[in-house]
Amino acid sequence: MYTTQMDAAKKGIITEQMRLVAREENLEPELLRQLVASGKVAIPANRHHTSLSPKGVGEKLRTKINVNLGVSKDCYDMELELEKAKKAIELKAEAIMDLSCYGKTREFRRKLIEIAPVMIGTVPMYDAIGMLDKDLKDITVDEFFSVVERHAEDGVDFMTIHCGMNRKTAERVKNNKRLTNIVSRGGSILFAWMELNNQENPFYEYYDRLLDICEKYDVTISLGDACRPGSINDSTDAAQIEELITLGELTKRAWARNVQVMIEGPGHMALNEIAANMQLEKKLCHGAPFYVLGPLVTDIAPGYDHITSAIGGAIAAANGADFLCYVTPAEHLRLPTLDDVKEGIIAARIAAHAGDIAKGIPGAREWDNQMSAARADVDFPRMIELSIDPEKATQYRKESKPECEDTCTMCGKMCPMKNMKKILHGEDLSIL
Residues annotated within a binding site for Zn(2+): 268, 332
The answer to whether the CB of 6 falls within 8 A of the CB of 220 is: no
SS3 content of the chain, % helix, strand, coil (to 5): 50, 10, 40
- The size of the chain, in residues, is 432
CB atoms within 10 A of CB 416: 9
Residue ranges of alpha helices (H) inside 201-337 are: 202-205, 207-217, 238-256, 271-284, 305-318
Is-contact 303 327, C-beta < 8 A?
no
Can you say which residues are annotated as belonging to the binding site for substrate? Answer: 68, 97, 126, 162, 184-186, 225-228, 264, 291
Q: Is the peptide bond before 267 cis (omega within 30 degrees of 0)?
A: yes
State the DSSP H helix or E strand holding residue 368, giving kind and residue range, or none if neither. helix 364-376
Binding site listing for [4Fe-4S] cluster: 408, 411, 415
Instruction: Give CA–CA dist 272/290, Å, rounded.
Output: 18
How far is residue 32's CA from residue 19's CA, in Å, rounded to a whole number?
Answer: 9
What distance separates the 2 farthest-apart alpha carbons in the chain? Answer: 83
Nearest by Cα to 35 from 49, 14, 50: 14
Measured CA to CA, the distance from residue 143 to residue 203 in angstroms comes to 12
Nearest to 13, CA basis, from 46, 37, 38: 37
Residues 272, 211: Cα–Cα separation, whole Å: 36
Give strand pairing partners of 57. Answer: 42
Indicate the annotated binding residues.
68, 97, 126, 162, 184-186, 225-228, 264, 268, 291, 332, 408, 411, 415
Contact 378, 397 (CB under 8 A): no
Beta-bridge mates of residue 42: 57
